[in-house]
Amino acid sequence: MFMRMTVTDSIKTALPKTESAKEFMGFVGERSQTADKSLSRTLMSTLTTIKFDGSRTMHEHVIEMTNIATRLKSVGMAVNENFLVQFILNSLLTEYGPFQMSYNIMKDK
């Protein structure tokens, strides 16, 4: 089948052989959903456990976490902006405690 020839070998081995294009596309769709679930688990785990270690700038750290949240949104798991801010604050070192308190006070006003 021509469609099968155009799929990369790493994916092709996971798909059963079919005679119908409709069946083939159904299997591809199922595999895609499985991959999306796996990706969303990985991204969510990364977002909740990532820590700022000072090896790069604070800006780069925040941008990375924002990018992870954007990728989660693209696979159907939108992260609320308030949760994202809280994840970012929780990822900071303890020396940024005054910054966290200042943010919380401003938010409460």
| Of 7 and 104, the one with more pLDDT | 104
In a domain, 9, yes or no: no
Residue 5 falls within a domain, yes or no? no
In a domain, 11, yes or no: no
The answer, yes or no, to whether residue 7 has pLDDT greater than 70, is no
State the amino acid at position 7 in one-letter form. Answer: V
Whole-Å CA distances, 6 to 10, 63, 66: 12, 36, 34
- The number of domains in the chain is 1
> For residue 43, what pLDDT is reported?
92
pLDDT category at 16 given cuts 50, 70, 90 is low
Query: For residue 3, is pLDDT > 60?
Result: no
In a domain, 104, yes or no: yes
**Cβ within 8 Å of residue 43, ≥6 positions away:** 68, 71, 72, 75, 77
Residue 48 lies in a domain: yes
Helices and strands (H and E) in the chain: how many? 6, 0
Residue-wise pLDDT tens digits, 58-103: 999 999 999 999 999 988 888 999 899 989 999 998 888 777 777 6
Answer yes or no: is 83 within a domain.
Answer: yes
Residue 10 lies in a domain: no
| Confidence at 18, pLDDT banded by 50, 70, 90 | confident
Take residue 57 and report the two structure tokens written for it. Answer: 């700038």
- For the cut 60, the answer to whether the pLDDT of residue 12 exceeds it is no
Cβ proximity of 100 and 89 under 8 Å = yes
Domain encompassing residue 51 = 19-108
